[in-house]
Chain A
Amino acid sequence: MAILIIAEHDNSTLKGATLNAVTAATQMGDDLHILVAGSGCAAVADAAANVAGVNKVLVADSAAYEHQLAENMSKLVAELGKDYSHVVAPATTTAKNFLPRVAALLDVAQISDITSVDAADTFQRPIYAGNAIATVQSLDSIKVITVRGTAFDAASTEGGSAAVEAVSSVHDAGISSFVGEEMAKSDRPELTAAKVVISGGRGMGNGENFSILESVADKLGAAVGASRAAVDAGFVPNDMQVGQTGKIVAPELYIAVGISGAIQHLAGMKDSKIIVAINKDEEAPIFSVADYGLVADLFDAVPELEQKL
């Protein structure tokens, strides 16, 4: 049986997290279908059809799916999903919202946030904020799975030539509606897709001081993140939070500035290739995971770093 992958998108572009989910799905089977559910999302469907390894693209184009409300999406995905062996989605806030509803409607478990595919029915996933790894075998006929993007390479956006098929069913539960959104606007790369991430913690002191991180980020083409302490203190918005309950990142280079290194934060970045820590407290736990540690006042070290890059 085939595998259904749910595309992450904003009605105009296919999001990178989908590509990591495709790679995970190739390890579960080889007949891959992608569902693009949205409104005016034809360009996304075309992009999905070009992804290497994809055999079919299903497009559900309706106003009911414009904001991917969980109440509507779950009914659509459950209806389609009953004919598949696996229903797979990236572990983004969109899919984490609707996919457990799909699992309940199909009367099966959801296996969340997998980091490895051991067999078509056996998966690894972090538990206890990444302090342990569970290997879980599914006993269900349909496996409903969310994929941690940083654990799988992105599939190529070229080389596929999947057929695009329209899905006519429209599910509008009529019990919820979209009111509005405040999305952060930035010219920098997305946190979860960036090759370099520079994050600030409580040591930054206030939100204005994040500008010194932004200067370094602009030189390195980096994304700017933050620890939970910095977000809770109101320095920066929640979408910048790196950690167990925020975003999970694994860039080539992660620079932690004024971050002590709580377990919660480490869970979100410890799979980065190279970790740099700049902190004036030489006892800070962040140094125990850093490849390069610099004990210094960040207000001296970060501007100097920016100059020397």
Chain B
Amino acid sequence: MKVLVTVKRVIDYNVKVRVKSDNTDVDLANVKMALNPFCEIAIEEAVRLKEAGTASEVVVVSIGPKTCQEQIRTALALGADRGIQIETEEMPESLSVAKLLAKVVEEEQPGLIIMGKQAIDSDNNQTGQMLAALLDMPQGTFASEVKVDGDKVNVTREVDGGLQTVALNLPAIVTTDLRLNEPRYASLPNIMKAKRKPLDVKTPADLGVELKAHTTLLKVTPPAERQAGIKVSSVDELVEKLKNEAKVI
């Protein structure tokens, strides 16, 4: 079974983002970029399926300017077999991303598609679900456990009240949550080897997809800052303040 994994290049999760002074967007100039953490978990899961003999090939796809090849190479160093970059100038909206990915799925015919549940930049949590709808495939979102069993996959999902398990007919789409696995680090020999793995570049036109804007970003502003309060010296003082000053107990 072929497994397709999608990856997104995003700001490194350790970097504190700042809003541009003209409020048009966040400032990404000279900021460290990295693989979206949820996508890293998706690659790890695919590579484990390959190591277990369930997956025969792991194909990784990313969408964006040439710089996103860096994240494809990272995925290849972590164990994916080949990469596909869909070259776009800017980051298309989720629905357009899903339409591009749907074309890749039609060409590649994977048995399982693993994606991050959300990207830590736009925080939308929607592309996997949209892709599933366009392909009329079942979905296991927010996965904490994935078990392939013949022509089905059982996915345990992190839901508000606890955990839910669903059975999906393959081909299916899984989106990863934090506790699905702990991603490995790429070794130096694997990083070297990744440089020689195949990486195809396609354009939206090659795939016959026209990118369309469904929203306009009017402005980006910093959130309301919260001021630090006071330090209390004892539990007694804390209880007194909560009762008489804050009046919350």
Kindly identify, within residues 121 to 175 of chain B, every residue whose CB is under 8 Å from any CB belonging to chain A.
121-134, 136-139, 141-142, 144, 154, 157-169
| CA gap between A308 and B127 in the complex, in Å | 50
Set B11, B123, B154: member contacting A126, Cβ < 8 A: B123
Cβ-defined contact, A100 with B130, below 8 A: yes
* Interface pick from A52-60, A101-109, A207-215: A101-109
Contacting residues, chain A, for B238 (C-beta < 8 A): 276, 292, 294, 305
The 3 tightest CB contacts between A and B, nearest first, are: A100-B126, A109-B214, A291-B229
Picked from B159, B165, B231, the residue with its CB within 8 Å of the CB of A94 is B159
A104, B213: Cβ atoms closer than 8 Å: no
On chain A, the residues within 8 Å of B234 by CB distance are: 294
Report A219-266 residues with CB < 8 Å from chain B CB: 220, 228, 231-232, 237-239, 244-245, 247, 252-253, 263
Whether B218 contacts A135 by the Cβ 8 Å rule is yes
Whether B141 pairs with A97 at a CB distance below 8 angstroms is: yes
Question: Is A129 within 8 A of B123, CB to CB?
Answer: yes
* Residue A168 at the chain B interface, CB threshold 8 Å: no
- Contact A97 to B228, CB < 8 A, known contacts A136-B218, A245-B177, A292-B242: no
Q: Footprint of A on B, CB under 8 Å? A: 11, 16-17, 19, 26, 93-95, 98, 118, 120-134, 136-139, 141-142, 144, 154, 157-169, 177-179, 213-223, 226, 228-232, 234-236, 238-239, 241-242, 246, 248-249
* Chain A residues positioned under 8 Å from B123 (CB to CB): 112-113, 125-129, 244
Query: Which single member of B11, B129, B134, B223 contacts A133 (CB below 8 Å)?
Result: B223
For window 182-213 of chain A, which residues contact chain B by CB distance below 8 Å? 182-184, 192, 196
Q: List 5 A-B contacts (CB under 8 A).
A: A96-B125, A131-B17, A137-B218, A196-B249, A238-B144
A-side interface mostly: mixed
- Please determine whether B216 and A308 come into contact, CB atoms closer than 8 angstroms: no
A204 and B168 alpha carbons, distance in the complex (Å): 38
Inter-chain contact A136/B217, CB cutoff 8 Å? yes
- Contact B248 A137, beta carbon cutoff 8 Å: no
Contact in complex: A74, B133 (CB < 8 Å): yes
| Interface locus among A34-42, A80-88, A152-160, A282-290 | A282-290
Contact for B232 among A122, A182, A293, A309, CB less than 8 A: A293
State whether B249 touches A128 (Cβ < 8 A). no
Residues 111-148 of chain A, each 1 if its beta carbon lies under 8 Å from chain B, else 0:
11100000000100111111111111111100000000
Which residue among B129, B165, B249 has the maximum number of chain A CB atoms within 10 Å of its CB? Answer: B129
Known contacts: A178-B166, A289-B228. The answer to whether A135 contacts B215 by CB under 8 A is: no
A172 nearest CB across to chain B (Å): 12
Q: Is the CB of B141 within 8 A of A292?
A: no
| B129 near A179: Cβ-Cβ < 8 Å | no
Contact B161 A138 (CB under 8 A): no
Given contacts A100-B129, A179-B165, whether A128 and B248 have CB atoms under 8 Å apart is no
Contacts A128-B121, A292-B241, A294-B231 given: A253-B177 contact, CB under 8 Å?
A: no
Which residues of A lie under 8 Å from residue B16 when comparing CB positions? 131, 263
Q: How far is the CB of B83 from chain A (nearest CB, A)?
A: 25
Complex Cα gap A94–B241 (Å): 39
Interchain CA distance A74-B242 in the complex, whole Å: 46
B160 cross-chain contacts in A, Cβ below 8 A: 92-94, 192, 239, 247
Residues of B close to A61: CB separation below 8 A: none
A100 to chain B minimum Cβ distance, whole angstroms, is 4
CA of A165 to CA of B238 in the docked complex: distance in angstroms? Answer: 53
Inter-chain pairs besides A179-B154, A287-B228, A294-B231, 15 sampled, C-beta below 8 Å: A93-B160, A101-B133, A127-B220, A128-B17, A135-B219, A137-B215, A181-B165, A245-B118, A247-B160, A273-B248, A275-B229, A292-B238, A292-B241, A293-B232, A301-B235
Q: Are B165 and A196 in contact (CB under 8 A)?
A: no
Cβ-defined contact, A181 with B163, below 8 A: yes
Give CA–CA (A238, B157) in the complex, Å.
10
Select one of A67, A99, A276 contacting B242, CB under 8 A: A276
* A293 in contact with B229 given A109-B215, A238-B179 (CB within 8 Å): yes
Contact A140 B214 (CB under 8 A): yes
B158 near A70: Cβ-Cβ < 8 Å:
no
Contacts of B128 in A (CB 8 A): 100
B239 & A253 in contact (Cβ 8 Å cutoff): no
Of A71, A102, A179, A270, the residue contacting B139 (CB under 8 A) is A71
Q: Which B residues lie within 8 Å of A126 (CB)?
A: 123, 223
- B223 near A253 with CB under 8 A, answer no
**Interface membership of A167, Cβ < 8 A:** no
Q: How far is the CB of B145 from chain A (nearest CB, A)?
A: 11
CB–CB B94/A109 < 8 A: yes
